[in-house]
Amino acid sequence: MANTNNRFDAVGVVVDWIDACKQRRLDALLDLYDDAATVECCESGSFNGRSEMERYWRPRLARAGNDAFAIDALTPEEDGISLDYRGYDGRIMRTHFRFTRPGKIRLTACEPVKSAA
């Protein structure tokens, strides 16, 4: 979703990310990330670069339920986008997206959303 003048549609990139996850399109998902990107997962650690991200994402996409990756909230932040969505296992997750100047994802950091008591 990059365009001229190093401007890009960050929300559009996140929507493309969700679509790739819903459609279980691993290559399309990984293509949204910068070659040196990092996936940080609160439960599984940190995964750097395409091959490690593939190792992280492949089993999660394969195990995803039919209601996985439904968007609950998408919020622009000063330095990226925050996305609340239903994870591959049905839990509500929050992922923070950070981008390179040309519009590739450089970092995703996820955590479960704690429900209100």
From first to last of its 117 residues, the chain has per-residue pLDDT tens of: 444 445 789 999 999 999 999 999 999 999 999 999 999 987 779 999 999 999 999 999 999 999 999 999 999 998 999 999 999 998 999 999 999 999 999 999 999 998 765
CATH architecture of 8-112: Roll (3.10)
Cβ atoms of 24 and 92 closer than 8 Å: no
- Fill in the amino acid letter for 105: I
Amino acid 85: pLDDT: 97
Instruction: State residue 1's pLDDT score.
Output: 45
| pLDDT recorded at residue 54 | 96
Q: Is the dihedral of CA 78, 84, 41, 37 positive or negative?
A: negative
| pLDDT value at residue 42 | 77
Q: Is the pTM of this model over 0.85?
A: yes
Determine contact, residues 87/18, Cβ cutoff 8 Å: no
Place of tokens 């929507």: 15
Contact predicate 97/10, CB 8 Å: yes
Give, for 50, the enclosing helix (H) or strand (E): helix 49-63
